[in-house]
Amino acid sequence: MTLLECRNITKRFGGITALNNVNLSIDEEEVVGLIGPNGSGKTTMTNIVSGVYRPDQGKVMFNGREVTNLPPDKRFKMGIVRTFQIPQPFHSLTVLDNVLVALTFGCRNVDSGSRRREAFDILEFVGLADKAEHYPASLNVVELKKMELARALAGGAKLLILDEINAGLNPAEVGHAIELIRKIHKSGVSLLVIEHVMKVILTLCERVVVLNFGHKIAEGTPEEIRSDELVIKAYLGEEYRIRR
C-alpha cells in the first residue's frame, strides 16, 4: 500500500525552478533513496514532504489523506518525521529529556512515568541508554546522530526522512549506522534516505530516485541506477558503473 505520494510537484523560488513536475512515492515499509548532485532539488523535495515548503503545483498525499497544505507539526503528528544533517538538540536538556520532548509532543502516552520508560527503551533501541542522563554537549558525532534517530522514533515515525544522517562519519561508523537503520526499518518504519554516501544507498534502498536540476532523471533499483547513462554522467561517475 502506498504511504506517501507526491504528484507532479513543482516548486519555484523567484525565477528558479527548484523542482519541475516531480513524482515520488513510497510504499509502507519500503526504503527509497533520493540522490543527486548538490542543487538537484533533494532538500527542496525533503522540505515539501515534511511541510516546510508548499509546492506551487502538485499535491502531497500521506496515508490516503492530502497533506499538501498542512504545516510540519501536523505532519509530525501524522507520522512524517525527519532528521537533520546537523543534529539540533535542546542543549539545556539531558539526552533522555530530549527524547521525552518528542514523546510528549506526539502525545503517545499520557502518564509521565510511562513516557519516561518509553523514552529510555528508545535510547536502548538505538544504543544510547548509557548516555541517558548526559547532556548533548558531551556526546560525540555518532552519539548525537543516534540521539537524533531516537527523537525521530519517539515522534512515532511512520515515514522517517533521513537527511544525510551519515555525513561526517568514517567508513566503520557508516557500517554501524547502516545496521541501526536496518533495525529501524525492520520495526515497521518506511524510510526516505537522502544521501551522498553511496554505500548507504546501494546497501539499504529497494528503489532509488535521482534528481538533477529539479528534474527526476531516473528511478529504479540500485542496480538499474548504476547502469543508467544519465545518472552516471550527471552524478555517479564511472566508479559506480556496473561492469557487464
Poorest-confidence range of 71-75, 107-111, 149-153, 214-218?
Answer: 107-111
Q: In what order do the strands lie in the sheet containing 31-35?
A: 80-82, 159-163, 190-194, 31-35, 207-212, 215-220
Q: How far is CA 75 from the centre of its chain?
A: 14
Q: Look at residues 20, 84, 17 and name the one whose alpha carbon lies nearest to residue 50.
A: 84
pLDDT at 108 over 60: no
CA-to-CA distance for 233 and 219, rounded, in angstroms? 15
Statement: residue 70 has pLDDT above 50: yes
pTM metric for this prediction: 0.91
The domain locations on the chain are 87-155
Q: Tell me what percent of the residues of the chain surpass a pLDDT of 70.
A: 94
Q: What does the pLDDT read at residue 87? A: 83
- pLDDT at res. 211: 97
Q: What are phi and psi of 113, to 5 degrees?
A: -65, -40
**Segment 24-41 mean pLDDT:** 96
pLDDT of residue 104: 83
Q: Range with the lowest mean pLDDT among 48-57, 160-169, 230-239?
A: 230-239
* Per-residue confidence band for 244, with pLDDT thresholds at 50, 70 and 90: very low
- What mean pLDDT is reported for the chain? 92
Alpha helix positions (H), 131-237: 141-154, 171-186, 198-204, 222-226, 229-231
The size of the chain, in residues, is 244
